[in-house]
Every structure is written in C-alpha cells, then in structure tokens.
Amino acid sequence: MKALSQSVPLIKRAYWLINLRWIAIFFVCAGTFFSSKILVISLQDVILYSIAGLLLVYNTVVLFLLNYYIKKNHVIRRPAVRGVINFQISADLLILTFLIHFSGGIENPFVFYFIFHMIISSILLSVKESYLQATFAVLLFGLMLLLEYKGPILHHCLEGFISNCHQQGGRYIIGFYFAFTTAMYLVVYMANYISTRLKKAEQAHRGANVLLCKKDRIKDEYVLRLTHDIKGHLAAIQSCLDVVNRKLVGPLNTEQADFVKRATERTRKVTNFVKALLRLTRIRLDSKITMEYFSLKDTINSVIDSARRRAQKGSLSLSCNIEPSVDKIYGSQLSIEEMIMNLLLNAIKYTPENGKVSLTATSTDHSVLVEIIDTGIGIPKDELCHVFEEFYRGSNARKIEKDGTGLGLSIASQIVERHDGKIGVESEEGKGTRLWFTLPKDERVSHDSSVETIPEEFEY
C-alpha cells in the first residue's frame, strides 16, 4: 500500500501541518483567554500561555527547518520528511496532553481534540505509523489519568465550569478511558480506510493516464512508420511520372501530356501532405530538439525576405516591425524559422489582393511576442477554438486553397509548446486575423526537477 497520495506532494502536506499548528496556537490562546477572563473559569493560564509560546517557537523552528531543507536539496528524501512529520505528531500529542492536564484533565471536553490528531496521522502517515501514534496518544492520556488519580500529579479543577470536581471515581475514569481508547483506534481505522480507497482510486486514474500516453506514443510511432513507407512509394511514383512527363520514353500527345500532368500535380500534393504529417508526428515524438541561443531578429528578417516575392505576386503590402530589444532567444532556430515562414505564408495565402500583412515583434523582460496580422478572409467565430487541431481547415479556407493539409497550425502549436511558449489567434470573418505567439527568452528549468516526481520509496 502506498503510504501517501502522489497527487499532493509530500512537502505540501508538511506545510499543511505547520499551518494547522498556527491555527491551533491561536485557538489555545484565544480559548484560554476567553475561558479564563470572560467565563471566569479557573485555569492555569500562565502555564497554558507558556505552552502556547512553546508551540509557537517549535512551529517556527519546524518551518525554518523545512524551508532550509527544501532549499538545500533538489531531491527530497521521503523517509526524512516523513520521519519529521512523525516526530511532529508525537510532539503535538505530548503537548496536547499537557494542555489538557493543565486545563482540567478528564473534565475538559476538549479531550475530543485527540481525534483530530488521529485523523491527521491517518492522512499523512502510513497505516502502521498511524496506529503507533494512536497507541502513543492512548498511553499518554492513560498515564495522565493514572498520575492525576493516584496522586503524584495534581488534578486541576475547572472551578466555574465543573462543580465538585474530585467526584470522579475510579470506575468513571476507567469507563471514560475505555471509550477514549476505542474511539482513537476506530478513528484511525476508518480514516485509513477512506484514505486508502482514495489513494487507490487516484492511482488507478494515474495508471490509466500513463497507459493513455503510452498508447498515444505507439500510435505516433505507427503513423511515422506508415507515412515514411508511403513517402517511399510516392517518391518512386513521382520519378516514374517525371520520366513520362519529360517525354524521355516517347512522345506524348496533348491529352496524354495533360493527364500525366494532372497525375504529377496530385502526387506532389499528397507528397507535401505526407511530409507535413511526418513532420508533425516527429515533433510529437521527439522529446528533445536541439536548442541554442540564436538571433530571432535575423531569423524574422530572412523569413520576411523570402516571403516578399510571394506577397508581391498577390499585390499585398508586407510590413515588418521588430522592436530593437528583440534579439537573442533560446530555442530551435530551424523550427522557429520554419514556423514563422509557415504562418506568414498562411497569412499571405488567405489574404485577397491589395490586402495587408504585417509582422511585429516586441519583448518583455522574459519573453518575446510575435504577431502576424492580416486583412484576410478571417476565421468564423465558432471555428476559432478548433484551428490548432490536427487536420482542421476553416470552412472558408477551402474556397481559396482546396487542398491544404490542415496541419500548419498544429505543427506551429507543437513547436511553441515545446519552447514553453503560448500561441493564440483572434479573427473576424471577412475582416482579418491576428495570430500571435510568445516565446521565453531564456532556457526554462525543466519541470521535473523537484518535488513532483519523488520515487515511491515506501511500499507495504
């Protein structure tokens, strides 16, 4: 049985315990003040406040130790943290016993609060440990009752609350103690039961997730292999058609030439489609692409130069505005260049004659923002959320380009995601589109460095 739910890291729970203790300290002080001054019940307030003070110091020390430990270590060793949590809970039980002793012992209804500690231990600790803590609590309380009853320790009466306190005879105390003990163990049993069920459900959920990711990967690898083979066949078809096209194996009459030309065109189109699909699938499978610092400014400028001719063909005005602070960023130069080219060509393709396409690049402290704005056909409002999906093509796009792959934007979003950036689009049908993406300037520390992926060291 896994002792801790993996969805909430161990460290978060350690902080939770510390926070609970702040609340407890507050209530001890408030409760003591209220009972002593307002209800005028006789309490050992000085001692109670001192214990609260002790709790304050102890909690602060634990907090600092935890912060220090986290800062020093990148890999959190679970047994160490759990050992500390165990120690804290035992210490809490000891302090609670003292608090109860100095505020009426068996007559203090707040004896119930032992139950909270049992619930907390069942959540934070393993089954064995929570039972051990229960036993410790039961022994502590029993010892307190015994010593108060037999004499060496004074039983503090809550005058103003209980009349005739020393009336409790041995029978009552034993009866009370029995109920207390059984309650403690039952609470641990039930809390563990619920906790275990929850953890099992979470584990099943996580397992299903992992399986899903694995299957997705298998699918991608299959698609990769398949498309690669298809591409091989297409290459052969293309070459054979080229031979006939160039009349190298005999003359062609007009009709023959026409049909061979159609076949060649279609082959070229499907080859491009397969290439795009291969590219997308490979990006999805590749967990590492070569990243380095490169000049985004130079990359954008070279893309603009290449795209200018295409823009001029459609009598479009192409403008480019790069803020001087935009220069070097960390990433894959090839992928980013290809992506920007793709997005720019898209804008050009879907903007009617005499329209405008503009690219702007600005930067903040940590990232750059690139926007490509056009006065093109736009994207229908209800389709905006789908544009980054694989193979999705806008309904109005087909009129301009019958055979687009629908992969350009999903490839772009994969690349942006891989760089830890964000991508988005705003558009109005018939008016134009604004496509933007952000890229971090610097290398991001990988996500899986710290607490989240502690290897499971405890297994019962």
Considering only 282, 328, 356, 422, the residue that binds another protein (CB under 8 A) is 282
Considering only 234, 368, 397, 439, the residue that binds another protein (CB under 8 A) is 234
Contact 64, 440 (CB under 8 A): no
Q: Is 242 in the site for another protein (CB under 8 A)?
A: yes
Considering only 181, 264, 271, 358, the residue that binds another protein (CB under 8 A) is 271
Two tokens at 73? 């270590």
Which range binds another protein by CB under 8 A, 7-15, 66-74, 155-163, 230-238? 230-238
DSSP-assigned beta bridge partners for residue 255: none
- Please say which residue, 203 or 271, places its beta carbon nearer to another protein: 271
Q: How far is the CB of 271 from another protein (least distance, A)?
A: 6
In three-state secondary structure terms, 206 is: helix
- Please say which residue, 55 or 260, places its beta carbon nearer to another protein: 260
Q: Is 445 in the site for another protein (CB under 8 A)?
A: no
Cα separation of 219 and 213, whole Å? 10
Which range binds another protein by CB under 8 A, 79-87, 281-289, 395-403, 427-435? 281-289
- Please say which residue, 36 or 267, places its beta carbon nearer to another protein: 267
Matching residue, tokens 């019962």: 460
Give the binding-site size for another protein (rule: CB under 8 A): 25
Q: How far is the CB of 433 from another protein (least distance, A)?
A: 29
Give 153's contacts (C-beta < 8 A, 6+ positions apart). Answer: 101, 144, 147
Q: What is the DSSP-derived secondary structure letter of residue 405? A: -
Two tokens at 300? 């954008």
Number of H helices, E strands in the chain: 10, 7
Two tokens at 195? 């906790």
Which range binds another protein by CB under 8 A, 12-20, 39-47, 242-250, 428-436? 242-250
Q: Is 213 in the site for another protein (CB under 8 A)?
A: no
Which range binds another protein by CB under 8 A, 5-13, 72-80, 140-148, 221-229? 221-229
Q: How far is the CB of 341 from another protein (least distance, A)?
A: 16
Cα separation of 17 and 13, whole Å? 6
Give the CA distances from residue 284 to residues 213, 214, 292, 411, 420, in Å, rounded to whole numbers and listed in that order: 12, 13, 20, 9, 14
- Please say which residue, 249 or 445, places its beta carbon nearer to another protein: 249
Considering only 52, 140, 158, 278, the residue that binds another protein (CB under 8 A) is 278
Which range binds another protein by CB under 8 A, 83-91, 98-106, 180-188, 228-236? 228-236
Considering only 42, 203, 238, 295, the residue that binds another protein (CB under 8 A) is 238
Phi, psi torsion values for 77, nearest 5 degrees: -90, 115
Considering only 174, 243, 381, 457, the residue that binds another protein (CB under 8 A) is 243
Q: Is 236 in the site for another protein (CB under 8 A)?
A: yes
Q: What is the DSSP-derived secondary structure letter of residue 248? A: T
Considering only 334, 354, 364, 381, the residue that binds another protein (CB under 8 A) is 334
Element (H, E) at 23: helix 10-33
Which range binds another protein by CB under 8 A, 66-74, 277-285, 360-368, 389-397? 277-285
DSSP-assigned beta bridge partners for residue 383: none
Q: Is 249 in the site for another protein (CB under 8 A)?
A: yes
21 CB-side CA count, 13 A: 27
Pairing of strands 367-374, 432-440: antiparallel
Q: How far does Cα 276 stand from its chain's mean position? A: 30
Q: Is 224 in the site for another protein (CB under 8 A)?
A: yes
Considering only 248, 255, 287, 382, the residue that binds another protein (CB under 8 A) is 248
- Please say which residue, 122 or 267, places its beta carbon nearer to another protein: 267
Q: Is 252 in the site for another protein (CB under 8 A)?
A: no
Give the CA distances from residue 134 to residues 125, 127, 177, 182, 199, in Å, rounded to whole numbers and listed in that order: 12, 11, 14, 10, 21
Q: How far is the CB of 328 from another protein (least distance, A)?
A: 21
Q: Is 240 in the site for another protein (CB under 8 A)?
A: yes
Q: What is the DSSP-derived secondary structure letter of residue 157? A: P
Cα separation of 63 and 44, whole Å? 28
Query: What does the H/E/C string look like for 286-305?
Result: CCCCCCEEEEHHHHHHHHHH
Q: Is 417 in the site for another protein (CB under 8 A)?
A: no
**Site of interaction with another protein (CB under 8 A):** 224-225, 228, 231-232, 234-240, 242-243, 246, 248-249, 271, 275, 278-279, 282, 286, 289, 334
